[in-house]
Structure 1
C-alpha cells in the first residue's frame, strides 16, 4: 500500500516528459504513487468532487501544477479551489501574488528587497503616466500585470513615445497599468531557481544584440553563469517573502544604484532543456531531488493531519 498519491501536470516539450518520468520513478521508490496528465482544462465538477481524467483531485495528497504555457482562466479558477482541500505546489495564494507583477514588486519592496522603481496608474490617469515618465528620467517600461515570457512589454522613451503608446493603451480592457523605471544594466540577468527555500541552480540570459529583453521567447540566449552568495541570498529571500515553494527569481545589476535588484519572480521556472544541458547548465538533478523531497514531505504532512483528525 502506498503512503499517498501525488497528482502531476508538467509541460511536455523541452525535455519535460523525461523530467516527469524521473519524478514519478523517484516517488515510486519512496512508496508514493503518481497520477500524471492532470490538466484541469479537462476537469469537471460534480457531486462535490473535482474530477480530472477520472481522478478526484480532492483525494490527492499533493498536486504539482507545472505548465506555464497552458494556463487558462478556467484552470486557474479550479486550481484555486483544489488548493483549499489538497496541498498544491505552488500554494495558490503565493502563486496568485507572484503572478501579479505589481503585488510582487510592492510586497518585496515592503520587506526590504530592492526592485526597479514602479508605479501603478489607473486606466484613465494620463497625467499619472506622464508624471511617472518624468520621475523615471524619461525612460520606463510598461508591463502587463500578469504577462509572462516578455509578452506585451513596451519600452517608453520620452513623451513622444508615450503619445504613440497611449492609443494602444486606450483600446485595451485593462483597468490599470504597471510601470517600471528602465534600469541601466548590461542586458544580462541571473535566473536563480529556488525549491523549498534552497538554491538549486542558476543560469544567465542575454538579450540579442541591440535589444534589451533577455527572455528566451523574446530572442534571448542562455549561458553558464555562477551566482555569488549575494545573488543567491537575494533570490532565497524573495521566494520566502512571497511564500513560494518553487520559484525562478530574475535578478539584474543596476549600474546606477550599483546593486542587484529583483526584476521578476516566476512561479513555474523551466528545467534546463537537453540543448541547455549540453552547454553545461546541469542543475536538473538537484532541482528534481529537492522537488521530490518536498512532495514526499507534503504527502507525509497530509497523512499526519488526517491521522490527527481521525483520532
Structure 2
C-alpha cells in the first residue's frame, strides 16, 4: 500500500489519458498512489469534509488540478477551499491571479517584466481609453480580463471601433474595460513551459493567414520553435512573479520596439499531443518528470507549499 495518495483531475483529450498513466507509473515508483478523476464538479461539502467521488479531499496528501477546458465557478470555489487544507498544484492564489489578464499584467510590470502598454478603467470612462489609443498610434486590443483561448478579444483599429464596441460590452454588463497597445509582430508567438522554476520546453503558435490571433481555438497552428536565452529568462521571471509552480508563458516579439513582451501567463499549459510529439515537440517526458519531482517534494514536505504573498520587487534588477 502506497504511503501517500494524491488526487488528480487531468484533461483526457489530446493524449491526456496516456499522460496520466505515465504520472501514475512514475509516482507509484516513489510510493505515491494517484487517485484519478477527482472532478470537483462532483464534490459536495458537509461536516468539515469535502467529498468527491467517495474520496475525502482532506485526507489526500496533495491535489493536482490540470483541466483548463472544464473549469466552472463551483469547481474554482471548492478549489480555493481545498488549497487551504492540503497542498494543491497550482496553488490557488497564483492560479486565480493568472486567470485575470489585468492583474497578471499589472503584477509583471511591478516586477519590471515587459508587457504591452495597457489601460484599465471604469466602463464609463471612455475618455481614458481614447487618450491611451492616441498615445499608442490609434490601435489597441480589447481583452476580457477573465477570458481564455482568444475568446472575446477584439482588435481596435481606431477610436470609432471603440465606440462601436461599447454598446455590446454594456449589454454584457462588463464593469471595466481592459485594453492593451497593439503589438506589431509577425503573427507568431512563443510558449515557454516552466515547472518548479525550471525551463521545460518551447514551441510557437502561428495565426491563420490574414488573421492575427495565434490561439489554437482561434485557428492558430502549433509550430516548432527554439527558445533563446532571453525568452527563457523572461519566462522564468514571469513564472516566479506570479508564484505558479507550473506555468506557460506566452511572448511576442515587438518589432516596433525590438523587444520581447509577455502577453499572458497560463496556469494550465497543455502537454504536447501525440500528433505534436510526432512533429518534434518532445518536452512531455521532461515536464512529467519535473512535476513528479515537485509532487514528491510537496507530499513529503507540505510546509513548502507555495502560499507566499506576492510582492513587488521593484528594488531588484529584474529587467529581462
Question: What TM-score does the superposition give when structure 2 sets the normalisation length?
Answer: 0.93
Residue aligned with 2:270, SS? coil
* Bigger mean CA deviation after superposition, 112-121 or 164-173: 164-173
Instruction: Give the number of aligned pairs.
Output: 305
* Bigger mean CA deviation after superposition, 125-134 or 237-246: 125-134
Residue aligned with 2:191, SS? strand
* Bigger mean CA deviation after superposition, 255-264 or 122-131: 122-131
Aligned: 1:223 with 2:240: no
Residue aligned with 1:129, SS? helix
Extract structure 1 runs of 4+ deviating beyond 2 A: 302-305
2:27 and 2:34 in contact (8 A); partners too: yes
Residue aligned with 2:113, SS? coil
Superposed displacement of residue 132, structure 1: 2.1
Superposed displacement of residue 189, structure 1: 0.6
The residue aligned with 2:80 is 80
The residue aligned with 2:186 is 186
The residue aligned with 2:268 is 268
Q: Distance in 2 between matches of 1:304 and 1:294?
A: 10
Residue aligned with 1:69, SS? coil
Which runs of structure 2 are paired with 1:1-311 in the superposition (5 Å)?
1-302=1-302
Superposed displacement of residue 130, structure 1: 1.7
Residue-by-residue CA offset, 1:118-152 (whole Å, 9 max, x unaligned): 01011211222222221221100000101110000
Superposed displacement of residue 304, structure 1: 9.7
Superposed displacement of residue 303, structure 1: 8.6
* Stretches of structure 1 lacking an aligned partner (at least 5 in a row): 306-311
RMSD of aligned residue pairs (Cα, Å)? 1.3
2:102 and 2:178 in contact (8 A); partners too: yes
Residue-by-residue CA offset, 1:215-272 (whole Å, 9 max, x unaligned): 0000000111110011111101100011000000001111111111111100000000
The residue aligned with 1:309 is none
Q: Distance in 2 between matches of 1:148 and 1:78?
A: 21
- Structure (1 or 2) with the greater helix fraction: 1
Q: Distance in 1 between matches of 2:185 and 2:11?
A: 32
